[in-house]
Structure 1
Amino acid sequence: MAKNLVILGGGESGVGAAILGKEKGMNVFLSDYGTIAGHYRRMLDDEGIEWEQGGHSMDRILAADEVVKSPGIAPTTPVMKAITEKGIPVISEIELAGRYTDAKMVCITGSNGKTTTTLLTYHILKNAGINVGLAGNVGRSMALQVAREKHDVYVIELSSFQLENMYDFRANIAVILNITPDHLDRYDYKMQNYINAKFRILNNLTPQDAFIYWQDDPVITSQLERIRTEAQLYPFAEHFEKGCHAYVDNDSDEASLIIDTPETSLRMPRAELSLNGLHNLYNSMAAALSACLLDIDKQEIRGALGDFEGVEHRLEYTATVNGVRYINDSKATNVNSCWYALESMPADTVLILGGKDKGNDYSEILPLVKEKVKAIICMGKDNSKLLDFFTGMVPEIHDTHSIQEAVATAAAISCEGDTVLLSPCCASFDLFSSYEDRGRQFKEQVRALESK
């Protein structure tokens, strides 16, 4: 008898999982509590897959042999509680896809930098002529690619939400860039629960596999003292430390990036890296280590590290208007991500903060705020927590409730030579549909200033 596969969520990952399930002969039913976008509805119809939106048919869902859950659905929702009570196995789209491919897997997670590192790794492999797929939080559904295409390597960005429902999946190269507080509302406000979710990326690693990580991250190093992995360890650090395989050598005339693995070793002037800032140095190290372990030619790696164009909404230069630089860092949805942004900013920065707070502790950025920020503009439905924390910490603080009001305020209070930085520290869902929507609207408002 064919297996009954239920998919919860009709977005990119859910529709891809539904198509792969049907391809493998399963009885597939997709259910979305909200509204499914038109192009996904058409894809499901074209494949002859049953679907519903605007609610859940619990009798159909609880008849499943297995459920593939969208990462955004919390385990505490009524539908998930009912599924758990019935003992139906719940997996992620990546877990499903991994069953049906023997491609090599480069899997990247971290609280910050994972999208940049994933896209940079993909860029290196693609430029080197590798048949590579891009999946997870970026790119197209991995399940759909496994159903319709054949790749030799997948580069996969994995959130903690995706890792929660991965069990037998195995990475060949696992990367953890850093771990700082994020999504604590999802993890009962317990940091260890979040750490445990991130470390699921090490599940099933063998002595032939590699684990790449930042050697100076206190959370990662502490967790590595408690757990054991059979994988080969490839830590990276800003400067040479015992055991690290990527670092910057400052002893010669020009600072050079050093990558050292059994497969490939390379040296490259740091000034030739296309991405600036300390956080991007670490991202470049992790991507280069992954490429070296896949035996990519060192000249290909150097070239790709030098011509990568970066990620939209991550420290993205937007425009200079009346001598003021505007930077879109809408992807900074947590405090540590904002810290990295501020670390690379000059003095006289006007900082736009705010959105849906996820249990944030803003004290982490306070030293940089005091050093570099001349004014804070709060932008959200409810700015009371930000106003309470930062009032008196900066010369000016403003309370705004829309992107139009925030950008207009920034333009009014900034002077030639200043930088306006949108780096919100918060999720976007109070005023926007996504951080991409927030970033695009910011850029639109800034460009509107140019025409005035």
Structure 2
Amino acid sequence: MKQQLAILGGGESGVGTAILGKKKGFEVFVSDFGKLKEKYKQVLINNEIEWEEEGHSEEQIFAATLVMKSPGIPDSAPIVQKLHKSGVNVVSEIEFASKFTTATIVGITGSNGKTTTASLTYKLLSDGGLNVALGGNIGKSFAEQVAEDTYKNFVLELSSFQLDGIENFAPHIAVLTNLSPDHLDRYDYKYENYIASKFRILMNQTSKDYFIYNADDEEILKWLSNNPIKSKPLPFSTKKELKQGAYKRNNEIIIKINNTEYTMPIATIGIQGEHNVKNAMAASTVATLLRIRKQTIRESLEGFQGVEHRLEKVLKINNVLYVNDSKATNVNATFFALDSMENPTVWIVGGVDKGNDYTELLPLVNEKVKAIICLGVDNQKIINAFGNVIDTIIEADSMPMAVEIAYKLAERNNTVLLSPACASFDLFENYEDRGRQFKDAVRNL
């Protein structure tokens, strides 16, 4: 008898898992509490996979031997609670798909920088001639790419939600870019629960595997001092010299691994900023472990232009620069964005608050920001946080309205920065939708 696979959520993760499940001989059923996007419906229909939307047929789901839960569905969802109680095995797409590939996996997680680091790592490996795919929390689903069965290497961007659903998944190389409070609404508002979730990336690694991490991050160091790890540690730092790993000396990155050392001038990296030096260190360390030539690494870093929605320069209008940082969905990411602003800034902020504490932004806001535009359904927390330091705080309920207000407030040599510090689900489909709407509104000025 065929094994039954039930999939909760019919988005990129769910549909990719359905394709792989069917290929591997499972009886597959996809169930979504909301509405399915047309493109995903068509894929399911074309692959003759059974599906439903706007509700869950519990009988069919509970008959399954295995359930894959999409990362967007919290463990607190009633159906997930019931599944756990009844002892049904609930896993993430990453766990399910990893069983069907022998490829070398690089897993990259962190509160910020993981998309840039994953995209950059993928570029370095791809430019170096490796047969490699990019997936996880970015681009095409990991499961669907495993189903294609053509890749020898994967670079996976992994969110805490994806790591929550793993049991045996073990990347050969794990990267942790940094830690800062994020998604606390999913972790009982306890930072330590979120941190533990990120470190699940290590839990199945062995002494043959590697762990690349930010040695300037106090929370990472604290966790490592209390928890022994099996994999080989390779730290990176912009503040101190290291015996092994990557560090900064003068204006160069030094990478030391297994008695080999090479240097690279920071000035030639295509993306600027201290946080991007760290992202480049992490990616270069991965590339060095996978034997990419130094020359290739240098050239790739020079040619990398960054990722969409991350401090992306959109247009200059009347000498005002418009910058799309829609991917800044937490306070720490917005901290990097504001810190990199060189001109007086009109800051567009707001969305779904995930338990944010804005106090660490106050000094930067005081120094850099001339006006705030709140773009969210409930903006009171932002108004309370910055009302004493910023005179002009205006609320907007759509992106065109926010950009129109910014256009009126900004003067020559100012910057208009969309860096929301929040999730986007109150007014937008996701952060990409929010960023594209911002770019469209700017182009329509």
Could you tell me the TM-score, scaled by structure 2's length?
0.98
Counterpart residue identity of residue 292, structure 1: T
The answer as to whether partners of 2:244 and 2:257 remain within 8 angstroms in 1 is no
Pick which of 263-272 and 414-423 moved more. Answer: 263-272
2:77 is equivalent to residue 77 of structure 1: yes
What is aligned with 2:112?
112
Alignment partner of 1:306 is 2:334: no
Match of 1:444 among 423, 433, 440: 440
- Paired with 1:143 and 1:317, the residues of 2 have a C-alpha distance of 33
AA partner of residue 435 (structure 1): Y
**Deviations 1:100-136 (CA, angstroms, capped at 9, x unpaired):** 1111110000000100100000011111111001110
Equivalent residue, structure 1, for 2:266: 270
Q: Which amino acid aligns with 2:340?
A: S
Equivalent residue runs for 1:229-248 within 5 Å: 229-248=229-248
CA distance in 2, matches of 1:447, 1:266: 44
Question: 2:140 aligns to what?
Answer: 140
User: What does 1:16-415 correspond to in 2, within 5 Å?
Assistant: 16-250=16-250, 255-262=251-258, 265-415=261-411
Give the CA deviation at 1:263.
Answer: 7.7
Partners of 1:191 and 1:395 in 2: how far apart?
33
Conservation of the 8 A alpha-carbon contact between 2:343 and 2:413: no
Identical columns (%): 52
Task: Using the TM superposition, give the Cα deviation of residue 38 of structure 1 relative to its aligned residue in structure 2, in angstroms.
Answer: 1.8
Cα deviations by residue, 1:80-116 (Å, 9 ceiling, x for unpaired)? 1111111101111111111111111100000001001
Distance 2:46 2:348 in 1: 44
Distance 1:44 1:62 in 2: 21
Q: Which stretches in structure 2 are left out of the alignment for 5+ residues?
A: none
Q: Cα–Cα, structure 1 residues 264 and 297, in superposed 2: closer, same or farther, change >3 Å?
A: farther
Query: Which secondary structure does the structure 2 equivalent of 1:185 belong to?
Result: helix
Following superposition, the deviation at residue 355 of structure 1 comes to 0.7
Amino acid in the other structure paired with 2:407: A
1:18-61 CA deviation, whole Å, 9 max, x = no partner? 11111111111111111112222222122221111111100000
Q: 2:139 & 2:428 partners in 1: Cα distance?
A: 21
User: Distance between the aligned counterparts of 1:417 and 1:141, measured in 2?
Assistant: 41
Query: Is the 2:241–2:249 Cα contact (8 Å) retained in structure 1?
Result: no
Q: Residues 144-201 of structure 1, C-alpha deviation per residue, up to 9 Å, x if partnerless?
A: 1111232111000000000000110111000000010000000010011100110000
- Looking at structure 1, the residues matched to 391 and 345 of structure 2 have their Cα atoms a distance apart, in angstroms, of 12
Amino acid corresponding to residue 83 of structure 1 in structure 2: L
Aligned counterparts of 2:399 and 2:46: Cα–Cα separation in 1: 39
**Letter in structure 1 aligned against 2:274:** L
**Equivalent position SS for 2:105:** strand
Residue identity opposite 1:193 in structure 2: N
**Structure 1 regions of 5+ residues with no counterpart?**
none
| Aligned-partner Cα distance in 2 for 1:50–1:376 | 48
Does the Cα contact within 8 Å between 1:164 and 1:197 map onto a contact in 2? yes
- RMSD of aligned Cα (Å): 1.2
Q: Which deviations, in whole Å up to 9, do the C-alpha atoms of 1:50-85 show, x marking residues without a partner?
A: 111111100000111110010000111111111111
Asked if the contact 1:264/1:293 (under 8 Å) is kept, the reply is no
1:428 pairs with 2:424: yes
C-alpha contact (below 8 Å) 1:264/1:292 kept by paired residues: no
AA paired with 1:58? E
Q: How many Å separate the matches in 2 of 1:23 and 1:101? A: 13
Amino acid aligned to 1:140: K
Q: What amino acid does structure 1 have at the position aligned with 2:58?
A: M
Cα offset, 1:244, TM superposition: 4.9
CA contact (8 A) 1:379 1:406 kept: yes
The answer to whether the Cα contact below 8 Å between 1:347 and 1:371 also exists between their aligned partners in 2 is no
Q: State whether structure 2 residue 47 is matched by structure 1 residue 12.
A: no
CA contact (8 A) 1:263 1:293 kept: no
